[in-house]
């Protein structure tokens, strides 16, 4: 398989549908012990990401979810990637889908910087690693399904999320009780950010190629993605 074909397949897998074409307004996933969606969109989910955020993110009121977002913005240093994932899901559920995309990407990037600096296995963070993998796998098709309704907007949100992660390093990266992959944590963090930027640039360049973009859009059309995710 060529690199182009692999890239197209990877993107297609992120946005492949699971059900028939109907507008998707609710991210119905479960990632224990952090999140369990309610059976119906108008009921509160189960959220366990710490007392400071759980109540707000379990609320069915848009203003409460926005208040959680504002708390993240005001004091981001120790906000966990799991909290950011749940924030992204709840923003989607209350109809703030561009914000959802931004924080979904920020959650993934924040975790990647952690795992590139800290030896997550030696640090006893296997549960965190598994949870982020589950969130990305389960929520990704919903959130990316919307994100790629407009490729240019997706690229902007992707860049904005990475810029936020770079400007707001995760405080856990520098905790001495978490073993690092080398003594120079700052250098490892710089390398991680550089890698994230390189990967984002590759994705952007891939979709800027007219042939690749046409193939990508054809895959979305075949899977009825616009009907499911591009509603207003």
Q: Which residues have a Cβ under 8 Å from the Cβ of 193 and sit 6 or more positions away?
A: 113, 162, 165, 166
Sheet holding 35-36, edge to edge: 30-31, 35-36, 46-47
Q: Which residues have a Cβ under 8 Å from the Cβ of 77 and sit 6 or more positions away?
A: 168, 169, 170, 171
Q: How far is CA 110 from the centre of its chain?
A: 10
pLDDT band at 28 (very low <50, low <70, confident <90, very high): very high
The predicted model gives 143-152 an average pLDDT of 97
The predicted model gives 157-167 an average pLDDT of 98
Residue 22's pLDDT is 86
Asked if pLDDT for residue 6 goes beyond 60, the answer is: no
Placement of tokens 């075949």 in the chain: 222
pTM tops 0.75? yes
Asked if pLDDT for residue 7 goes beyond 90, the answer is: no
Structure confidence by residue, pLDDT tens digits, 93-111: 999 999 999 999 999 999 9
Residue 21's pLDDT is 74
Residue 15's pLDDT is 47
The predicted model gives 140-155 an average pLDDT of 97
Q: How many residues does the chain have?
A: 232
What is the distance between the alpha carbons of residues 38 and 35, in angstroms, rounded to a whole number? 10
DSSP per-residue letters across 62-130: HHHHHHHHHHHHHS-TT--HHHHHHHHHHHHHTT-HHHHHHHHHHHHHHHHHHHHHB-TTTTT-HHHHH
What is the distance between the alpha carbons of residues 113 and 193, in angstroms, rounded to a whole number? 7
Exposure of 225 by Cβ count < 10 A (0-12 exposed, 13-18 middle, 19+ buried)?
buried
Extended beta strands in the chain, E state: 30-31, 35-36, 46-47
What is the distance between the alpha carbons of residues 84 and 165, in angstroms, rounded to a whole number? 11
What is the distance between the alpha carbons of residues 162 and 197, in angstroms, rounded to a whole number? 8
More confident residue, 83 or 40: 83
Mean pLDDT of the chain: 92
Structure confidence by residue, pLDDT tens digits, 197-230: 999 999 999 999 999 999 999 999 999 999 999 9
Structure confidence by residue, pLDDT tens digits, 47-65: 999 999 999 999 999 999 9
**For residue 210, what are its two tokens?**
């007219």
The predicted model gives 114-136 an average pLDDT of 97
pLDDT band at 87 (very low <50, low <70, confident <90, very high): very high
């Amino acid at each position: 398989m060529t690199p182009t074909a692999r890239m197209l397949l990877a993107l297609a897998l992120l946005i492949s549908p699971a059900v028939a074409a109907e507008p998707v307004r609710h991210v119905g996933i479960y990632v224990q012990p952090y999140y369990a969606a309610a059976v119906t969109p108008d009921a509160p989910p189960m959220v366990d990401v710490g007392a400071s955020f759980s109540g707000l993110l379990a609320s069915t009121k848009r203003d409460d979810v926005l208040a959680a977002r504002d708390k993240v913005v005001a004091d981001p240093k120790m906000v966990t990637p799991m909290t950011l994932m749940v924030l992204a899901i709840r923003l989607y559920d209350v109809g703030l889908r561009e914000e959802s995309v931004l924080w979904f990407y920020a959650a993934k990037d924040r975790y990647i910087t952690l795992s590139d600096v800290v030896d997550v296995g030696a640090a006893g963070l296997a549960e965190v690693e598994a949870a982020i993998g589950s969130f990305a796998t389960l929520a990704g098709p919903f959130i990316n399904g919307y994100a790629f309704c407009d490729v240019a907007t997706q690229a902007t949100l992707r860049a904005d999320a990475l810029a936020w992660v770079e400007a707001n390093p995760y405080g856990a990266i520098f905790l001495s009780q978490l073993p690092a992959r080398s003594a120079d944590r700052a250098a490892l963090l710089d390398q991680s950010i550089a890698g994230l930027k390189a990967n984002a640039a590759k994705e952007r360049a891939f979709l800027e190629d007219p042939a690749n973009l046409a193939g990508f859009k054809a895959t979305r059309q075949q899977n009825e993605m616009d009907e499911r995710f591009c509603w207003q």
